[in-house]
Structure 1
Amino acid sequence: MITVYDDRQRSHDPQMFLSSGAPQPCPEKPARIDALMAAVRRIGGPVVSPPDAGLAPVAAIHPDRYLTFLQNIFTRWSRIEGASAEVIPNIHPANRTDGYPKSAVGQAGFHMTDTSCPISAETWDAAYWSAQSAIHAADLVLAGERAAYALSRPPGHHAFAELAGGFCYLNNSAIAAQRLVDAGRRVAILDVDLHHGNGTQGIFYDRGDVLTLSIHADPERFYPFFWGYASETGEGAGKGANLNLPLPRGTGDDGFMAALDVALRAVAAHGTDTLVLALGLDAFEGDPFGGLRVSTPGFARIGAMVAGAGLPTVIVQEGGYLCPELGDNLEAVLRAF
């Protein structure tokens, strides 16, 4: 399998986020790349850098004013006397139909859902090349590869069209899916991350052409809290094109595979001809977030079940945080392809 990765993704190095009101070291660190790349090297496939496809494929998902915000907010923020070293919001609108301010502080609150997506001088460049990796992986599949893996970091599935959140800035999986749709493919996005893919759901919620599915820890008491319930099935043209499969905290391999079986049946019923697998590895029993209890052999089962669907697949890296088994879990999934 071809892996797509650009080393400019390493430059983003967020220092902190707030967890239950307390400052904590950010777990979305560049060292994640080393653990994931070690697994790629063990498998032995080629690693390629993505060409620059430009902003157009990104802008197909994210509006201009949001992209302008991401590119310029750190410079603007740095001009504020006494501002923090990273852009972290301290105020939010009641909803995003409220007024759009000119203030850097106000725009940070408008475009960032939470405090876990700090923006530094390097964030835009890393996020841009993370998205380019996903775009090129989609292009490889369009060119005939059975599967391609985008080592996209920072991740993307918590990013809405105009909102960063949960370590995510550009929605790599959504961008890859749109690339496939634009080429005439019938696409489903299957998200197996520990956390609900709320940004992906939000982007496609009123569209029926892309099926979005997410298997995740029940959000009643778990991030992202406000999205990911089974009752959320889409609206308008998208009614019935969103499937959430929330799992009780502590669910292990068998419960996860039962949900995955339901999801894959829905993928087939959609008439999917190309799949985007939003591959979070943080459902692992030893992941620092500790929400679910999937084992390393369980990840091999996930890979086998998804590969068994027989669909051309763009695999886009989402979560999965530093623990000794992180690379082993990626290897377990990718070997199935």
Structure 2
Amino acid sequence: MRRFFSPRQLAHAPALELHNGGFVPYAEVPARAAMILAAIGGAAEPVDAGMAPIEAVHHADYLAFLREAPGLWRAAGRSGDAIPYAFPVVGRRPLRLHRIDALLGRYGFDATTPLTPDTWDTAYWSAQTALAATGAVLGGERTAFALCRPPGHHAGADYCGGYCHLNVAAIAAQAARDAGVARVTVLDIDYHHGNGTQDIFWDRGDVFYASVHADPATDYPFYWGHADERGEGAGEGATLNLPLSHGTTLDEFRRAQGEALAAIAAFGPGLLVVSFGADTWEGDPISRFALKTADYALLARDIAACGWPTVIVMEGGYAVDALGANVASFLGGFSPRG
């Protein structure tokens, strides 16, 4: 399996995030990627595919915000990382405000996703990693892995959140569509629902989004991922959410994933994008499922058995010491010997 990663994805390193009522060390650390690289034997540098595939998914004003926000933060006399504290509620007027604090709330939906001077470049190369893996599969590889860091599935077309700035799964899916693949599916098996991916494709019938995740009645991102969310307009029926309860083990997760795979098969994709998160592992510090390291190989085998060309993009997983083994187990399930 071809694997892609750029060392430039290590630069983004915020100090703190707001969690459970207090500021704590940022969980999406560069060491996550380093541990995965060590476990999988390295990865190839992606070629720069430019801005066009990113602009095909994200709004121009949002991309400008990501590039400019750290400078605006410092111009306002602030030190440290840029973190929002005020958010517009639904129904507020779309005012054209310019103060950095207003922009941070306008383009973000939580206080767990600080911006640093390195955020844009790091997120840009995370997207290029996803595009490189997509290009490899479009070029004939059966499966390719993008070690995306930072992750992406919480980022919408015009907002960031959940450690995510550019939606790497959506960028990969759209790139496949633009390359001529008529029907693309995203299978999201991170602990948390990929609200950004769902939003991006919500009213489209050419990209099917299926997610197995923790019940948003109890877990982040709360406002998306409920079972009755099915898409709208041309996208009605092209969204499938399968929320699970705390303590979920392999049997229940595998059953839900099987339901998702059956729906994907009925959709008939020409390419599958897997948003893979290892935060479903039993020891993850911010999640409450109970999958074991060996379980990931079984889940991967079930996906591989469907036979679709597959791009795997890395999402969550915050038990840093175990992360490499969990990812290696998942990738191993796609190999003939896995």
Output the TM-score relative to the length of structure 2: 0.96
Select the residue among 82, 87, 90 that pairs with 1:87: 82
Deviation at 1:84, TM superposition (A): 4.4
Name the residue aligned to 1:334: 331
Name the residue aligned to 2:13: 13
Select the residue among 262, 266, 284 that pairs with 2:263: 266
Taking only the aligned residue pairs, the percentage that are identical comes to: 47
- Decide whether the 8 Å contact of 1:100 with 1:110 is kept in 2: no
1-structure distance, mates of 2:178, 2:239 = 20
2-structure distance, mates of 1:168, 1:26 = 13
Deviations 1:157-184 (A, max 9, x none): 0000001000000000000000001112
2-structure distance, mates of 1:254, 1:262 = 12
For structure 1, list consecutive stretches of 5 or more residues without a partner in the other structure: none
Deviation at 1:290, TM superposition (A): 2.9
Deviation at 1:324, TM superposition (A): 2.9
Deviation at 1:79, TM superposition (A): 1.1
Name the residue aligned to 2:59: 63
Name the residue aligned to 2:49: 53
2:121 paired with 1:125: yes
2:94 paired with 1:98: yes
User: Higher mean Cα deviation, 94-103 or 113-122?
Assistant: 94-103
Name the residue aligned to 2:135: 139
Shift of the 13–271 alpha-carbon distance from structure 1 to 2, 3 Å rule, reads same
2-structure distance, mates of 1:14, 1:286 = 23
SS for the counterpart of 1:220 is coil
- Decide whether the 8 Å contact of 2:296 with 2:333 is kept in 1: no
2:276 paired with 1:292: no
Deviation at 1:80, TM superposition (A): 1.1
Name the residue aligned to 1:324: 321
For structure 2, list consecutive stretches of 5 or more residues without a partner in the other structure: none
2-structure distance, mates of 1:68, 1:32 = 27
2-structure distance, mates of 1:198, 1:332 = 26
SS for the counterpart of 2:120 is helix
- Decide whether the 8 Å contact of 1:212 with 1:242 is kept in 2: yes
2:78 paired with 1:76: no
2:302 paired with 1:309: no
1-structure distance, mates of 2:93, 2:253 = 37
- Decide whether the 8 Å contact of 2:134 with 2:172 is kept in 1: yes
2:110 paired with 1:114: yes
2:24 paired with 1:24: yes
1-structure distance, mates of 2:279, 2:226 = 19
Output the TM-score relative to the length of structure 1: 0.96
Deviations 1:99-150 (A, max 9, x none): 2312221111100110111000100000000000001110110000001100
